[in-house]
A and B are shown apart, each in its own frame.
Chain A
């Protein structure tokens, strides 16, 4: 039988705004790496490799994959894999490490998600580099403007108002207010969200993610090693990635996430998921803008097109609902770049390992989780994984 990989240790640092962050990027990475190692009950010499995300050009840190890993204090002989898939780098880190373990060449691999963006004084100038340079960016289209296309089309097709979108944000902030690791921990109401500074119709400032600083790390090990631990781990049951065309104009439909729906069908087939709403106990999606979470819930098969906000409104996605979603508060309340993209995988793994912060831990030992990431020009890339709780092997 093919080897399987499990997440055996996870760690996240506290998140703050850049203006309050007294640690360097390296120091945050050190905190996360050592805490993940401790959670996985490993010593540095047990690691066979480290996979680190490195987004060249987003910050004056082009070689940080090399210098950061060198300075983590994990030893001299740790093979390094640097991954750069732009805005989806964090989401793909876990997938690469899992494939290394599955291949049989590695027993234990660390994944490190660094904070990105927090030095940039003009964040839009930095992240606009993902807008197609020649034919789309010169029109005055940057990051959240691209997001606004999908929001507008979604509103038009389903008759969704700005107040409806605001409800998603209210729910995210309620969740983040309970997560001690979240960055924006204040609650908001619908009026605050719709009356926020308009950015690009229909998005207002409170409908888009903040810039946060935090680092995330996790350790993946072979299933045999995972079973030998005295705590539950998160088995990587199925995973995949997919891509739309590069240009926004190549999308078939702005009002539905067709690309994510196709990926979900593929990953669910691998994991034998037939009824996502019934089968998943916990979900984390990468939804930095208000319209994204409902659209993603629809594409992932949790509800019909146009009903994602109703689903959130119904309480189903709350901690005591039947499919708790983004209990972390999601990237809407904490987005530290590469670390932020890794966060959905990290939080789902935490939930399955019963090691989420107690305030957001789903009761009753959740067994099946779904983690999602997305990024790139017009969110052209999607990544998705089904994680399953793996209990320690009974004592012989």
Chain B
């Protein structure tokens, strides 16, 4: 026996949940970087061929395909290349507005992404001009450090 049905005119949905915790194994290179952060040091490494300095460090140079095993410590100061003001965040993230920037630490060839403070958000139209490209910024360390990127609390304008 069949029951006549009518085509759906509104979507029929049922809720399911996907909530998956995950442990990412950092491996030797990033573990050493994180241990450095715990000690308030920013560790980087250098490609033996192209001599570029990577921060965060990476085990291989993606251009030369060689292991990068020469380590160095970088100063916590550099210039801000670019930033965005986040007005709309996401579940589990920081409370907006906040600023995320790409920072060229002195001596680094790559950019380190981090939170940048010290901007006045009261007039959104002027925020970009407060820290033009190349502005100097310095790392501010968290009092409690656990081997995490947020052991650097944020970067603040320097000088």
Interface residues of A (CB under 8 A from B): 18-22, 57, 59-60, 119, 122, 124-125, 128, 133-136, 138-142, 145, 148-149, 151-153, 155-156, 197-201, 245, 247-251, 254-255
Contact = CB atoms under 8 A, between A and B. Distances in A.
B69 interface: no
Contacts, number: 125
A199 B10 CA distance: 30
Interface in B17-40: 18, 20, 24, 26, 30
B112 A249 contact: yes
A60 B16 contact: yes
A340 B93 CA distance: 27
Contacts of A133: 24
13 contacts: A119-B13, A134-B26, A135-B149, A139-B114, A140-B94, A141-B113, A148-B84, A152-B83, A153-B81, A199-B87, A201-B84, A201-B86, A247-B110
A249 B8 contact: no
Contact of A21 (B11, B54, B86): B11
B89 A149 contact: no
Contacts of B132: 156
Nearest to A249: B111
Interface SS of chain B: loop
Interface in B103-128: 110-115, 124, 127-128
Given A19-B11, A254-B81, 19 more contacts: A22-B9, A60-B18, A122-B90, A124-B90, A128-B90, A135-B113, A136-B149, A140-B100, A140-B115, A142-B90, A148-B86, A151-B84, A200-B88, A201-B84, A201-B87, A249-B55, A249-B102, A250-B110, A251-B111
Please classify how large the interface on chain B is, using the bins under 10, 10 to 19, 20 to 34, 35 or more.
Answer: 35 or more
B82 interface: yes
A136 B16 contact: no
B149 A139 contact: yes
B82 A140 contact: no
Nearest to B99: A201
B128 A152 contact: yes
A149 B82 contact: yes
Interface in B51-86: 54-56, 62, 81-86
Nearest to A132: B113
A204 to B, nearest CB: 9
Contact of A201 (B20, B30, B110, B124): B124
A155 B132 CA distance: 12
A249 B82 contact: no
A125 B24 CA distance: 18
A99 to B, nearest CB: 24
Contact of A138 (B8, B98, B133, B149): B149
A149 to B, nearest CB: 6
B2 interface: no
